[in-house]
Amino acid sequence: MADRYLHFTGTAPGRFLTRRLGLPQPAPLRRWSPGAPDPAGPVILRTAGRSALTGPLPLGAGESAGVPGGEGAGETGRAAAVVLDATGVTGVADLAGVHAALHPLVRSVAPGGRIVVVGARPSGDDHHQAAAQQALEGFVRSLAKETGGGRTANLVRLTSPDPAPAASTLRFLLSPKSAYVSGQVLELTDAAPADTDTDPARPLAGRTALVTGAARGIGAAVAEVLVRDGAHVVCLDVPQAGDDLERTAGALHGTALPLDITAADAADRIARALPDGGLDVLVHNAGITRDRRLANMPAERWAQVLDVNLAAVLDVTDALLKQGAVRRGGSVVATASIAGIAGNTGQTNYAASKAGVIGLVRSLAPRAAAAHGVTVNAVAPGFIETKMTAAVPLFIREAGRRMNSMGQGGLPVDVAEATAYFADPSSSAVNGQILRVCGQSLLGA
């Protein structure tokens, strides 16, 4: 269902009326499209104090446009992005450098632009450094709520002085692919980026991905983006969705796998269906809701949600890793939800299952990396425009759309882009992360 309010606020009468009434004025978001510059303009690089890095930040294509020292915003005075190196911030006094670096630049960021702060992991031994680096999180989350105009602000934490592991994360956060990701924190490991000769525009070329719940909605969008990035996709969904599943897989030249993910032999059947005997990307997107308040929720509604959303994710992941079906350098991406972070009335079962996914990711990620060479991460969508949310009562739907810093719902492609970022082999330093794709929802952290 179209967001008519978003369309209305883009008209002259809509802008006038919403401004006079103090209503949200969401800006249309610039998302990825073929041939569009990425990022669309100059990138300004600043440093708060002295950098703690051993080399320059890997800004990729934007690096040539960025000018250290803060010049280069062009004749319009508008920059596509500002990147602040705050890795050397070790005390309260150093935070003045954060203000000094960004205060004069915030207004120069173009609508739809990006602000990325690069910090260090808070120290367990130096509480002054830990306090200052943690302060950056509050700073970035607040700045993201101030920027408006479709702009985003995010924080990247590095584990070591080597900036190389940040390449894929900076590329994602500076691009239109992260349009609905703001006010978030990503902490990277010191894993070296994968050595690959593949085309950066098609990082998954020659790789196989499995997407569960792929017949429609978010799952279909994930499959489409992974194919865009070069993957062959196996699309899995319940047999009852067979017609939609065949259409989705056929349009993507993928493989349709009608299967109940909760079946006892699901992992074995998945392994047999893989066209080349192995899997590089495992995306757990399948999920259901059976909403009722706990006092009115029978045991079978509780069990159905926990079985599909959590038990199947655990069982299938464990079995495929044990069989070696997920190849080294591969990735597991699960779908959590902001409901699992902030809770939601009438969704004790759903929120428990999605919080369980977060626990799975945080525990399994370091062990899967060490034993199998596989990363494990999760996306946590907020309000996403799907057929399911279109059926939500009007006032609840409007609240879901407006209760975030961007004042609008996200699209399935926003979740898909975050999934593809995790699946990119150059994201090997991104492990154990929960990335909220929610337009900086006002619920939760």
pLDDT the model gives residue 435: 98
Q: What are the phi and psi torsion angles at 42 (to 5°)?
A: -70, 150
pLDDT the model gives residue 73: 45
Among 440, 424, 341, 311, residue whose Cα is nearest residue 375? 424
Asked if residue 39 has a cis previous peptide bond (ω within 30° of 0), the answer is: yes
Residues 6+ apart with CB under 8 A from 287: 213, 308, 309, 335, 353
Same domain? 1 vs 58: no
β-bridge partners, 362: none
Same domain? 16 vs 129: no
pLDDT the model gives residue 394: 62
Largest CA distance in the chain: 64
Spatial separation of the C-alpha atoms in residues 127 and 161, rounded to whole Å = 19
Examine residue 444 and state whether it is found in any structural domain, yes or no.
Answer: no
Do the Cβ atoms of 75 and 38 come closer than 8 Å?
no
Residues 6+ apart with CB under 8 A from 415: 218, 221, 222, 335, 379, 381, 384, 437
The order of strands in the sheet holding 375-381 is 255-258, 232-237, 208-212, 279-284, 326-335, 375-381, 434-437
Same domain? 24 vs 39: no
User: Taking the model in full, what pTM does it have?
Assistant: 0.93
58's tokens? 């890997």
Same domain? 177 vs 254: no
Same domain? 183 vs 215: no
Q: Annotated active-site positions, please?
A: 350
β-bridge partners, 109: 79
Which segments of the chain have a pLDDT < 70? 1, 5, 61-77, 193-198, 390-395, 444-445
Examine residue 445 and state whether it is found in any structural domain, yes or no.
Answer: no
Give me the domain span that covers residue 213: 208-437
Examine residue 202 and state whether it is found in any structural domain, yes or no.
Answer: no
- CATH number (domain holding residue 414): 3.40.50.720
Same domain? 128 vs 260: no
Residues 6+ apart with CB under 8 A from 375: 330, 331, 332, 365, 368, 369, 422, 427, 428, 430, 431
- Give me the helix-helix angle, 312-323 and 266-273, nearest 10°: 50
Domain total of the chain: 3
Spatial separation of the C-alpha atoms in residues 29 and 70, rounded to whole Å = 26
Same domain? 299 vs 335: yes
Same domain? 333 vs 381: yes
Examine residue 196 and state whether it is found in any structural domain, yes or no.
Answer: no
Examine residue 198 and state whether it is found in any structural domain, yes or no.
Answer: no
Examine residue 18 and state whether it is found in any structural domain, yes or no.
Answer: yes
pLDDT the model gives residue 45: 96
Same domain? 154 vs 124: yes
Same domain? 52 vs 142: yes
Examine residue 201 and state whether it is found in any structural domain, yes or no.
Answer: no
Do the Cβ atoms of 55 and 88 come closer than 8 Å?
no
User: Within 13 A of 156's CA, how many CA atoms are on the CB side?
Assistant: 31
Locate tokens 């924190």: which residue? 185
pLDDT the model gives residue 373: 96
Same domain? 315 vs 432: yes
Examine residue 200 and state whether it is found in any structural domain, yes or no.
Answer: no
Same domain? 124 vs 232: no
